[in-house]
Structures are given as structure tokens and as C-alpha cells.
Structure 1
Amino acid sequence: MRCDLVWHRKIGHFTINSFYWAADKIMMDYIYKGILDSLDSYIVVIEGDGVISFTNKKWGDLTEAMGATIGMDCLGKNYFDCCSMILLNPDDFITECKLQIAKLLQGENSEFVLEFSNYTINHQIWLEVTGNLLVLDQSRYVILNHSNIINRKKDRAEIEKLTLIDSVTGIANQKSFNNFYSNEWQRSMRNRIEMALLLGELEGDEIDGFQLKKVAKIFEKHARRACDLVAVLKNNQFALILGQTNSESCEFVALEIHQEILQLNLMSIEGNQISINIGISSATPTLIDTSDMLFNSVDLALRKAKSSRQQNIYSHCPTISFKAGLVMKN
């Protein structure tokens, strides 16, 4: 009897402990769920094999915004299968996310952050996904916190845009020119096509911002394609990059720009007409060439035009001796 009494007491002791343990677990689960549901981020908790064991309330808003069926239930489904259904181009993200989750579960990393953009008919979304390890009852989970940072990206883009635009004329500045010129040089090299460059410098005393804007608009008219760019450099100097353009076509553009600026009849403060000198050149980049080669050639042509009393437009071939371009009389 005593033995039976002791046995029953032990059974009762273990049962009560199990009850408290289960109650604690339910309470903790409730607390975790409440905390995660209160967040504005889109939370998913997945197991090691990618199966979704928990989503917070906001997660449904995200899946709907990205084009999923209203009320789509992701619980018990594979996270990466869900990504394949709602993302436009999920392959790169899924590959990298799987790699980072594996490192997290193996203890190689304590956290990872990934970014990817997604577009739907009604929404533009840029997600930042942060992954953290969660250990509960000796089981390992990964919490994936999704935040839409599109407004932050737009703000950064606007700030970056301000650093690439000339404040007076509203066109690209030197920094923007350098980036575009380098990229166009590399693109022309890969495709083995010719590109041209035009540098124009206004000649006149104390040219004001209003006049510079008028000149900028004329240059902008000739930058019609994605491979073209007009920029303002220094000392009233304008640059026009013309992708997929040979020297003859660039020379024609230079003539038009020169004539259109003369037709503006811009006058300096001292009453003198403002004119423009132009240097042009073109090249088909090769592996042995540098981008400086073309720019220096155009700069040389511009200096010749400025020093000449008979010509306003000069061209110079980067690989052969200097030659005069089409003559424009003052």
C-alpha cells in the first residue's frame, strides 16, 4: 500500500509538473504571438526545412499587396514555395536566403539581412529581410522579419539625385558625367561600337544662370536616347556623350548646337554676344585603350577651337594627328 501510495504520489507529482510546463508553454506562445502580432513588420517563423510554423497578422497584408489571393494561408507551407508564388523574380532571393538560413542554423552567422524589390500593378515594394535564430524547447527556428523600405529607398534616391544634378541648369553634373561616361565606354567596348564625345565652352564675360539654362536646353534636345547624356562641367563648359555615334554624326550635332546657340543671341553684361567653341571626337574602344584617350582628344580639339580666329568647331582623332573639323565662320 505504501508502495502504491508513493507511486500514485509520484504520478501525481509528474502530472502536475507536466500541467504547469504545458501551461507555461501555452502562456509563452501566447506572449510571443502577441508581441509579434503587435509589430508593423511582416513576420514569418520557419522550421529548418523551410516549413512555416507561424505568421503574424501583418504578413497577410504583405502577401495580398504582392498579388496573393486574399486570405491566403501560409501556415504549414514551405516559405520558399510561397515566395515563388508571390515574387516576380524569386530565384536569386530564394538561393541566397537558403544559403543564409543554412549558415544561421549551423552557427556560422548570428543574423543576416537581404534586400529585394518587387513590383505589382498597384504596389512598388522593396523588402529588407532580416533573419535571426530562435531556439524553443531544443528546437531551432528562424524568424524572418520583412520590412518594406521603399520610402527609405526613394528618399536615398532623391538625395543621390541631388548629388548628380547641377543646381543652376538642372542637368547632370561632373560626378554624373564621370559615371555615365565610364559606363558607356565599357558598353561600347563590349559591343565593339563607336561612341562620340562633344565638349562645348561658352565664350563671354559673366554669363548668368538664366543664360546657362537656355544653353542647357539646347544641349538636352540632342540627348534623345538612353545612351546619350548632357552634363555641365566647369568654366561654362558643357559635355554631350553620344553612344553608338560616329564622328560624322557628332560633327552634324555640333553644327546644329552651334547654330541654335547663335540664334539665341545671348548677350553678356558688357553687351558682347556670347558664342560657343566646340571640340569633338569619336572612338571605338578596345582593350588597350583607356577612356581618357577620347576625353583628352576632345579637350585638345576644344582648345584648338578656342585659340582659332577662323573656326569654332574642331575635331581630333584619338589615334592620329590633329586635323581641323568642319569650318564654322564667326
Structure 2
Amino acid sequence: MDRKLPLLLITSDPKNRVQLSNRIRSLQLFDIHTVENSTSAIEKLKNNNFHFIISDIDIGDVDGWCLSSLIRSDIYVCDRKIPIVLLTDTHSERIAEATAKAFGINAVLTKSETSKVNEILADAFSLSLPISSKMTALNVMADKSLASEIELLIDSKFETFTVPNAKDGLAILRQQNIDFLIVDNALPDNTASELIKAVHQELPEIPCVVIVPRNDIEVAEYYMIHGASDFIYRPLNPSRVLNICERAARRNDFMISNNQFAQKVSQLEQSERKFRDLFDEHTTLLENLSSVVIELDKEGKIKFLNKTWRSLTGFSIERCIGKNLLEFIEVDELGAVRFTAKINSMLKLNQTSSTEEVKIRTAYNYNLWVEIKLHKIIKNGVTSGLSATVDNIHDRKKAEEKLSHLALHDTLTGLYNRYYFDTQLSRLTLLASRGDDSHCLLYIDLDHFKVINDTEGHQTGDMVLREVSQILSQRLRQSDILCRVGGDEFVILLSSTTMENAKTIGNNICKQISDTHFQFSNNTYKISASIGLSEIDGHSTAPEYLRQADIALYVAKNKGRNQIHCFAEDDVESTMQFDNMKWVHRLQDAVINDNLILHFQPVWDLEENKVAYFEALVRLQHGDTLTFPNEFIPALERAEDISFLDHQVINQALKSLSSNPELHRVAINLSAHAFSDERLAPLIESKLKNTMSMVIELYSNSLNQPA
């Protein structure tokens, strides 16, 4: 692999840092950056796009939990969904689970469990360790206004479900995973009391908060006695509602964690007793080790084996004594040659120890990955042989292979992924710059694929993507590289291929995809492919070749789709598409930097002899230049991004209207696309409501000002 994935390791423990670094480095997939505290970590995060983070909790002014919270807030260069693993000296599983859920941690490990870190990385890469979502609350209340008020107050921390009666509430509790329950005691026919009693008997692990009339102590005491965890007075005190709900939701976490801590104490006492027993039985320890123990003579022949050898390999100890250890090393592996040289070096030269990973043969007709640690035995200053321990690392190596595969492949189609494509595009760019053959890049986007996704569902869409990947794979030579880089986007790198041949391949792909019919139930669908082609000729950079193919792809779509278009510097269509994309970027930049300007032109009413209204005219401020609509609107319409401008003009016009009373009436010009924009009417309605609220507030404040 040309480029390794950056991983940030934050720990002030030198021993832990070395152990973790060696373990992770063995994967040969990561570029490890190590820092000792949160201050250094934050500086790294500001400037580097890491793919994984492993951190102690106690790392300085900002602890590991808070640092994770900062990362999840999306303020650093890395993706806010980056996998994060925290290391602790010890922890209660329930508290760790609850706290990790609150801070978005993927996994919490004790430092004694760091041997699992490679498997954790593999699982995180395959997205099987998702960041936890909000806790769930169930409201049981017939009063819709009360339910809405509760949902609004706790929305920031809880996913809320509401049902109008006790029967429905109990049914949901029995069927779904609910973190806590809120019940209005005003449910008809005293059903609130019956519901709380039923929950207390059937599901005592679910905390329950009851809403009671203000200052009605007797009712509150009654519910607390019969199973409620806490109560809220009605009318609601907003500052207390969220606090009480969080306290109730966390109640079981702390109760369960107390039991877990008690169990850990008991387990520790049992472990101490076992240790004393093992110490007393030290004479049998060697035969009960999980590692194989071997002694070799100075010729590399086996002199001693413990019983673990039999359980690991299936070979009897008696038949193996006297044989050379190399007879059990899998000779097809390159590691066997290196291992042979290492043994000879230790027996004849000054090297005293070594660690090697090799495959060994077994009596079960399969090979095992093992780690062999060799140590020289010296007696009276002379090398008399070697001692060795052998550990089964087969599961770990399989996890590494899984991680290596996931790092380079798309999980849906099995094709290479965007990361692998980037590395190979860079490689071909470098080869082309050295004067080797030119290469070609095909950027493929499926036309009308969204129709299948929206009509038949995403699972059916996934089936189509897998079938398309098979079609594309059949068109490739062994030297070509096919990758899936987006939802329905694929790229093909054609090595040592002319533009003419690449265009022929692209036309064949278009035809084969358009000729394919997809049958689901009684519906038949057809899709096509638009393809952009660029030549990797060694005169530009990898990102530029990708940009050229992207521009050519858009041209192919604009020309009617189901065709291939070749990028060329003197191509009018490519140049026009590039200009369109630049104007879209300038518009987005103008919105971000508040450079979208409205000029208000008065329209005079001749009969009334006054200003009838003001017409809002949009301008773009680009540096010191003021750009008028006739220069950028056609490009935005061609790029199908004009609705974005419509929305921003409405927003700016209403903002100006609310802060400038003299603009008593404003006319806003919109594009023709606005008539088909389903989002436009709700946007205008929402902005008008906000504007009216601001105007009323300004008017009220002006009335309260002293004369």
C-alpha cells in the first residue's frame, strides 16, 4: 500500500505507548502519531485528518471524554464520526456503556485488554461499532399540549415517543427498548396508577417519572411508594424537567454499576486465591501454560516440548523430539526462509533473541499463524541451544487480513474503494510523469438509478449496484482497476491505454448497461450510464485528472446521458461546464462570507405620487468586483443549482425587510425553476413567521422607549 492511514495515540504511559504502538504497527496499515497530553492532541487534530483515535482518559487539562465530545462537535479536520477507543485502568461496564453513549465513544477498554485493539480497529473500519444515539423516552399522556411541551423540553437529550393511553404505553414497553417512562397522573380512570404498578412488577429496570399537580405532596408520595423514580409538578418548570428526566434515565446505570463493582471485588478476591493455588502448584505450571515451550539443541533439533504442543498442532510429543523445528514450518511461506536464517544467525552469531511470525503445519490438515519468540541459551560462555515460546496468533492475523481487506474494498460490491482509487491514481500519475505510457480514467455515473431506489427501496438498489459491478468487472483486463467511489459512482483506471481505446471501452459499457433489464416483482426498470473520460498523460496532477473526468461526466449528462464524453482543454462544452462549476462555487462562497448583496430599487406609483414598493435586485460581491445577474444566473441554471440562489435571495430580502422599516413592501425576483421547487413555499412561510416575530418585537421595544 502506498499510503498508510493516520492514527492518533494519546497516552502519557511509556510502557502502554510502546505496547500499543508495536501491536498496531504490526498491521503495517497505520501511520501512528503519538502525543502525551490533550494540549498536543488538540494541536494535531487542528491540522491532521486522522482516521482513528486511541486515548487514555487522564490526558491533561481536557480529559479523554471531553476531547471525544469536542471531536464529535465537528470542529477539527477529521471526520466527526471517526472511531474513538478510550483506555481505562479499570471500569464498570454499565457506567462505561452509559458514558460512552453520551460522549459518542466507539469502545472502552481496560489497559489489560489492549490485546484486542487490532480487532477493535477491524470492527470500527467495518462500521460495526456505530456511535450511540440518544436515549429513548416514552410519554404516556392524553393531553397533546402537555406531550408537545415535554417533547420540546427534552428533545436535546432524548428521542421521544408519545402514546395517549396506558394500554398502548405498556404494549410499547413490552416490545421496544425504552430507557425511561413519563406518565401523566391525569390519565382517565386511574390508569396512570395501574400502569406504574404494572411497570414496577414486570419491568422494574425501567425508571418512571410521573407528572402530578403542583404542591400535591400526597399524590407524589403515593406514586413514589408504588414504583415511580421521580415526579414533575404541573404546570411545568422548564429548568427542572430535563434535569429530572436525565437523573431518572441514569438511575439504573448507577444501580447496576454498584452491583458490577461488587462483582469485580469478588472476582478479584477469587483471582487472588487462584494465584496462591497456582503458586503452590508451580511444579505443574510449565505443563499447563497456554504457550508452547520448546528447547532446541545447537543444531536446531527439538529437545523438549510441553503438552501445549500436542493441543496446538495435533502431533505427539514423542514423535517430534529429535526432529528439526524447521520441519514444522510451512515452506510455502516466505517467512520460512527468514525464520531459517534467523535460527542460524542466533546459533552461530551474537544475536541473543528474536521474534518471528510464521505459519506452522498441523496434523489437522491446515496451517496456523504463530508467533515464535527465540532466546539464546548460553552455558559457560558457549551457545548450547535455543529456548522458544510459541503462541497462537491465528485469530489476530485473520482480523488483520479482514482489516486490510476493509481498508481497500467497498463492503457492498467487493470492489476497490475510494481510498485505493486515490493511491492508484497517484501511482499512474507518477508513472506517466516519468515518460511511461499514458493511461486513462473513466468516471461512471448511473442515470435514473434514483428511480429504482425511491420506488423499490435501498435494498433493491443495492442489488442493482452489485449487478452493475459484475457487468463492469467483465469488461476489464487484468491490469485495469475498477473502484466504487460513491453511491452510484464508479471509476475505472485503464493502464497503458490510448484515449481512442478508452472511448471504445466506455461506449461498450454504456451499451451493455443500457441493454440490461432489471425485473422486480411486476416492474421492469432500465438504467444507463454517463461516462467522463480524461487522459493521464503526466502533465498534470492526480486531483486535476479526476476533476477533468468529473467535468466530462457532467457534459455527457447534459448532452442526453447514456454516452461517454472525452475531456479536452480546447473543448467548448468542457470549458462551459467548468465555468458553471466555478460560478456555483462563487455563489456558495458568497453566501458563506456574506457577500450576497441586494440592491432595492424603488418603483414609483404615478397616481399616488409615492413609492409603491421596492424591487430586490441581487448582486455578487467577488473581491472588489460587483457582479450582475446576467453574468452568473445562466451558469447557475445550466448547473441546475439556481434554486440555491432563490432560497438565499428570499432569506436576505426578508432579513432586510425586518430591520429596515422604510422597506414597507418588497418584490422579489425568482427563477423559473421556483415553480417546481417543492421546498420554496414552506421556506417562505417559515421565514415570514420569523420576520413577523422580529418586527413585532422591534415595535414593542420602540413603544417601551422613553420619549
TM-score under structure 1 normalisation? 0.61
CA–CA separation in structure 2 for the residues paired with 1:321 and 1:104: 65
CA–CA separation in structure 1 for the residues paired with 2:529 and 2:419: 23
AA aligned opposite 1:223: S
Does the 8 Å CA contact 2:447/2:561 hold for their aligned counterparts?
Answer: no
Does the 8 Å CA contact 1:37/1:58 hold for their aligned counterparts?
Answer: yes
CA–CA separation in structure 1 for the residues paired with 2:402 and 2:430: 26
Query: How many angstroms does 1:40 deviate by?
Result: 4.3
Query: How many angstroms does 1:212 deviate by?
Result: 5.2
AA aligned opposite 2:529: I
Percent identity of paired positions between Structure 1 and Structure 2: 21
Aligned to 2:295: 45
CA–CA separation in structure 2 for the residues paired with 1:284 and 1:70: 63
CA–CA separation in structure 2 for the residues paired with 1:57 and 1:189: 60
Query: How many angstroms does 1:62 deviate by?
Result: 6.8
TM-score under structure 2 normalisation? 0.32
Gaps of 5+ in 2: 1-281, 520-524, 575-707
AA aligned opposite 1:263: D
Query: How many angstroms does 1:315 deviate by?
Result: 1.7
CA separation of 1:215 and 1:87: change in aligned 2, threshold 3 A = closer
CA–CA separation in structure 1 for the residues paired with 2:426 and 2:366: 34
CA separation of 1:175 and 1:116: change in aligned 2, threshold 3 A = same
Residue 239 of structure 1 aligns to a residue whose secondary structure is strand
- Aligned counterpart for 1:125 among listed residues 346, 368, 379: 368
- Aligned counterpart for 2:410 among listed residues 166, 169, 194: 166
CA separation of 1:310 and 1:150: change in aligned 2, threshold 3 A = closer
Query: How many angstroms does 1:78 deviate by?
Result: 6.0
**2:500 equivalent to 1:233:** no
Query: How many angstroms does 1:279 deviate by?
Result: 1.0
Does the 8 Å CA contact 1:314/1:324 hold for their aligned counterparts?
Answer: no
Aligned to 1:253: 505
CA–CA separation in structure 1 for the residues paired with 2:337 and 2:444: 47
Query: How many angstroms does 1:100 deviate by?
Result: 6.8
**2:337 equivalent to 1:91:** yes
CA separation of 1:184 and 1:146: change in aligned 2, threshold 3 A = farther
Query: How many angstroms does 1:259 deviate by?
Result: 1.9
Aligned to 2:357: 115
Aligned to 2:45: none
Does the 8 Å CA contact 2:292/2:390 hold for their aligned counterparts?
Answer: yes
CA–CA separation in structure 2 for the residues paired with 1:179 and 1:256: 27
- Aligned counterpart for 1:277 among listed residues 520, 530, 547: 530
CA separation of 1:97 and 1:135: change in aligned 2, threshold 3 A = closer
- How many residues end up aligned between the 2 structures? 275
- Aligned counterpart for 2:563 among listed residues 295, 312, 319: 312
CA separation of 1:131 and 1:315: change in aligned 2, threshold 3 A = same
Residue 295 of structure 2 aligns to a residue whose secondary structure is strand
Query: How many angstroms does 1:232 deviate by?
Result: 2.0
**2:445 equivalent to 1:198:** no
What are the residue-to-residue correspondences of 1:179-198 with 2, within 5 Å?
A: 179-182=423-426, 192-198=436-442
Query: How many angstroms does 1:278 deviate by?
Result: 0.4
Gaps of 5+ in 1: 1-30, 106-110, 326-330
Query: How many angstroms does 1:133 deviate by?
Result: 6.0
Query: How many angstroms does 1:114 deviate by?
Result: 1.7
What are the residue-to-residue correspondences of 1:26-105 with 2, within 5 Å?
A: 34-46=284-296, 50=300, 52-59=302-309, 72-75=319-322, 79=325, 82=327, 87-88=331-332, 89=334, 90-96=336-342, 105=352
CA–CA separation in structure 2 for the residues paired with 1:279 and 1:181: 15
AA aligned opposite 1:240: I
CA–CA separation in structure 1 for the residues paired with 2:439 and 2:492: 11
CA–CA separation in structure 2 for the residues paired with 1:191 and 1:119: 47
CA separation of 1:169 and 1:310: change in aligned 2, threshold 3 A = closer
CA–CA separation in structure 1 for the residues paired with 2:561 and 2:285: 79
Query: How many angstroms does 1:149 deviate by?
Result: 2.4
Query: How many angstroms does 1:123 deviate by?
Result: 1.8
CA–CA separation in structure 1 for the residues paired with 2:378 and 2:317: 32
Query: Greater helix percent: which structure?
Result: 2
CA–CA separation in structure 1 for the residues paired with 2:517 and 2:300: 70
CA separation of 1:73 and 1:170: change in aligned 2, threshold 3 A = closer
- With 182-191 and 272-281 compared, the bigger mean Cα shift is at 182-191
Residue 197 of structure 1 aligns to a residue whose secondary structure is strand
Does the 8 Å CA contact 1:132/1:142 hold for their aligned counterparts?
Answer: yes
CA–CA separation in structure 2 for the residues paired with 1:61 and 1:174: 44
1:71-97 residue CA offsets vs partner (Å, 9 max, x unmatched): 65453x6656x578x633432222345
Aligned to 2:514: 262
AA aligned opposite 1:304: V
